[in-house]
Amino acid sequence: MGVLDYFRPVSTLPAEKIRALLNEKKAGEYNLVDVRQPEEYQAGHLPGARLIPVGELESRLKDLDPNKPTIAY
């Protein structure tokens, strides 16, 4: 991850929009990625979220299907 990644434009949605998106999609139709640290995940995560700390994300992209809508938090 380069420092420029912080400035790349991406869609940011408020939590209610994310909730609506997850509610309308069926299980398996989206990727939901928790990019925090394992201790934070353990203390509480969105149901079905997959833990991939941000520092590991680049090397683990192949664990996720790039064709599905992908939500990171």
Q: How far is the CB of 42 from another protein (least distance, A)?
A: 5
Burial grade of 26 (CB within 10 A; 0-12, 13-18, 19 or more) = exposed
Neighbours of 34 (CB within 10 A): 21
Q: How far is the CB of 2 from another protein (least distance, A)?
A: 9
Would you tell me which residues interact with another protein (CB under 8 A)? 1, 5-6, 8, 10-15, 18-19, 21, 23, 26-28, 33-36, 38, 40-51, 54, 57-58, 61, 64, 66-73
Q: How far is the CB of 55 from another protein (least distance, A)?
A: 10
Q: What angle do CA 12, 18, 19 make, to 5 degrees?
A: 160
